[in-house]
Amino acid sequence: MGDRVTIQEVAAAAGVSASSVSNLLNGRTGKMVPATRERIERAIADLGYRPNRAARQLRSGRTQTLGLVVPSVGNPFWGAFAREVEVAALELGCNVLLCNSERDAARERRYVEELWEDGIRSIILCTSLPSLDHVADVIEDGLRLVTFDRPAQPNDPASVISISIDNNVGGQIATSHLLGLGHDKIAFVSGSIRSVNRAARYRGYCDAIEAAGMSVTDMPSWTGFGAEQFGDVEAAQVGRAAAHALLAPDADRPTAIVAVNDMTALGFCRGARDMGLVVGEDVSVIGFDGIILAELYDPPLTSVRQPIGEMARLAVGEAVQAGARSDGAGRSVLLRPEIVVRESTRPPHSTATSRADVPTGGSR
Amino acid sequence: MGDRVTIQEVAAAAGVSASSVSNLLNGRTGKMVPATRERIERAIADLGYRPNRAARQLRSGRTQTLGLVVPSVGNPFWGAFAREVEVAALELGCNVLLCNSERDAARERRYVEELWEDGIRSIILCTSLPSLDHVADVIEDGLRLVTFDRPAQPNDPASVISISIDNNVGGQIATSHLLGLGHDKIAFVSGSIRSVNRAARYRGYCDAIEAAGMSVTDMPSWTGFGAEQFGDVEAAQVGRAAAHALLAPDADRPTAIVAVNDMTALGFCRGARDMGLVVGEDVSVIGFDGIILAELYDPPLTSVRQPIGEMARLAVGEAVQAGARSDGAGRSVLLRPEIVVRESTRPPHSTATSRADVPTGGSR
DNA sequence: TTGAAAGCGGTACCAA
DNA sequence: TTGGTACCGCTTTCAA
């Protein structure tokens, strides 16, 4: 550490010019005499030189920093994803600048612009807004944008890359699982489904219901929180409120529910408990995402898992290889989610004895 | 957005020099004629000018970015804290650069150095290592370091500021709560307690036990994972493993446990379930931190809450007011934690009926 | 194959 | 009270 060593000092120590040092630093070693190269490398090592990023960026306009905008790291899913992104970025020598949008378009826009102004040219944006209009001009200016958890939309700018699971398929998998267990009163529980991925999950749910020869309109439903009152962290509250409404004694009670994500599912479980019901017995619950807490919960929560490690790696790769691929053409990668069956989903009207009497052993 | 507007263009538009614009930008408006000031402000607004941080930093050596090093945003507690820090920083016009140390001294050092090299002069370091030697030279160079979740230690460099709850008191509060309920076989469950705060919590536990006229050596204990095999995210696994060992049929079973944090507590609950036991009935569990999931869990988890919002605000304030306070003297702020009693802690050998029969209603 | 010199966009000092 | 000017550390022509 200590006082900064500059490129000039390195050049002096190696008996070359700053230009040569710079060339080496930037991999332009094609025409460099090995001896020169070695002298420079030795000088760099000896002096413990590390380039000043501000200067480098000021001059070149480039950064080694990746922007990551998530709805909220307070939500375990996004926290886990952010961590995976950081790991992947680190492997590629990038830093990550993390921002929380709270799923607010204005904040998303503000952050994206701010990052751009800071010289950051690659951003992973975890948004699920149907339109990217709010960041269109930055994209036009040349921002490399990778959206996550939001499949490509018809009107997206051409250069946008999207990484997502196939939420429609996920919704179907979840619902089919419940149908397969024999449930026939299945509700879908979510906050606002204005977001693309949520809508897709809901559509998957509908598709599976219809495919089974039933009608979605016959299913119990809950619309207490159609608007966006709740941020991501409050998802649990949505689930809890839904449980209170759907499981009321006088309600048309579902025997199972598909929650739009795990936090909502966990909230629903909590709400079911408030109502004196036992999840997995009185009502089955399946969530989405596959957060660690799902496995920890009592009962362990069945969930449609997103392979976040793989997805993070993909997203970072696309975001960083900015100039590498000259086509600049966007693309959409849709990964297949997989269900992890645990104990929160069982056949309806289970005849099993109360779980207080029966040790069920570990899951998986 | 669009192409960058420079300070020169603003100056030209306002009919002044770049120096004056710079002065305004940096709050040196003391001797500025109001009319001049207004012209500049108008030009800035009209042109949508925003200063280039790289240039600014290169010249001044300062940054508006705050470094935040947490063990892992994959852990809900740290995710929530990071979010609070970001909110607080934003209010002060700062960005936050987030890094995950995985509680590894080498990674902590690497990140701190890297941030410093990037021109970041203020870092909130969530470490709990007994010594700060691994970052001592950066501190010496002038880094403004605020440690979080780690009370000040005798050998800390003088300038270090620390924000933490009083973990010793927290440990006592937790343990006294259980003692007050009538428990007399109370185990402390933790991964490695090499970290300062964990050690303090453990000491609080011991103090409370001794104060009650009992002996810690008489308490059931578990030392399966003394080493640091587990990162923060794996805390739950520690808890689960502990449950498997402590609650084995042939073991000297505790009637209650104090977990070093909520994730460990949740893991323990999961483990208790594996063993066919019911938390709150067969065994009481209290955690630490007060993460959202604690309230959501079944049964809702009693926990010693850390006021992370307030703490984040404090930490950011201290980190940002770098030069403001000229004394440069360190300080240690110890906040008092408070217990949130929920349903995972009850008197031992409870005679209450199985909770499957009794709706317990909401908590709190 | 290497080097010299001109900036990138601000800030800070000093002069006016 | 404002403006001129050097310069932060690096990259990037362009010339040698």
CA–C1' B28–D4 (A): 18
CA–CA dist B182, B348 (Å, integer): 6
Per-residue exposure over A322-331, b if at least 16 CB sit within 10 Å of its own CB, e if not: eeeeeeeebe
Of the pLDDT bands very low, low, confident and very high (cuts 50, 70, 90), residue B317 is very high
Residues 6 or more apart from B104 whose CB is under 8 A from it? none
CA–C1' A67–D4 (A): 38
Q: Is the CB of A19 under 7 A from strand C?
A: yes
- Nearest chain B residue to A282 by CA distance is B356
Mean pLDDT, to the nearest integer, of A205-229?
Answer: 84
Nucleotide nearest to B18 (CA to C1'): D3
> Nearest CA to A208 among A167, A153, A244, A158?
A167
- Residue ranges of alpha helices (H) inside B187-254 are 196-211, 235-246
Average pLDDT score over chain A: 87
Mean pLDDT, to the nearest integer, of B299-308?
Answer: 97
Tokens at A264, concatenated: 């909502």
Q: Please say whether the structural domain A167-306+339-357 has been given the CATH code 3.40.50.2300.
A: yes
> Does the pLDDT at position A31 exceed 90?
no
> Does the pLDDT at position A70 exceed 70?
yes
- Protein CB footprint (7 Å) on chain C nucleotides: 1-5, 7-13
Q: Is B57 on the interface with A (CB under 8 A)?
A: yes
Between these two residues, A332 and B326, which has the higher pLDDT value?
A: A332
A284 sits in which H/E element? strand A284-289
Residues 6 or more apart from B117 whose CB is under 8 A from it? A50, A52, A53
> Cβ distance A226 to A178 under 8 Å?
no
pLDDT digits (tens, 9 = 90+) for B236-273: 999 999 999 999 999 899 999 999 999 999 999 999 99
Contact call for B76 and A79, based on CB within 8 A: yes
CB-hemisphere CA count at 13 Å for B78? 29
Give the N- to C-terminal CA distance of chain A in Å, as an integer.
Answer: 49
Between these two residues, B164 and B48, which has the higher pLDDT value?
A: B164
Evaluate the CA torsion angle A258, A263, A266, A270 in order and state its sign.
negative
Q: Is the CB of B131 under 7 A from strand C?
A: no
Percent of chain A with pLDDT over 90: 55
Boundaries of every domain in chain A: 7-51, 63-166+308-336, 167-306+339-357
Cross-strand partners of B189: B259
Distances (CA, A) of A2 to A115, A201, B146, B260: 29, 54, 20, 38
Classified by CATH at the fold level, domain B63-166+308-336 comes out as Rossmann fold (3.40.50)
Of the pLDDT bands very low, low, confident and very high (cuts 50, 70, 90), residue B124 is very high
- Protein CB footprint (7 Å) on chain D nucleotides: 1-5, 7-13
pLDDT digits (tens, 9 = 90+) for B82-108: 999 988 998 887 878 888 888 889 889
Q: Is B8 on the interface with A (CB under 8 A)?
A: no
Distances (CA, A) of B256 to B178, B221, B263, B283, B293: 7, 11, 16, 5, 20
Helices A167-181 and A196-211 cross at an angle (nearest 10°) of: 40
Tokens at B115, concatenated: 């941030």
CA–CA dist B126, B138 (Å, integer): 16
Cross-strand partners of A146: A124, A161
CA–CA dist A345, A268 (Å, integer): 13
Classified by CATH at the fold level, domain A7-51 comes out as 434 Repressor (Amino-terminal Domain) (1.10.260)
Contact call for B78 and A79, based on CB within 8 A: yes
Residue tagged 């402000």 (tokens): B41
CB atoms closer than 10 angstroms to residue A321: 12
Per-residue model confidence (pLDDT) at position B225: 60
Tell me whether the CATH fold assigned to A7-51 matches the one assigned to A63-166+308-336.
no
> Nearest CA to B170 among B346, B299, B303, B71?
B303
* pTM recorded for the entire structure: 0.85
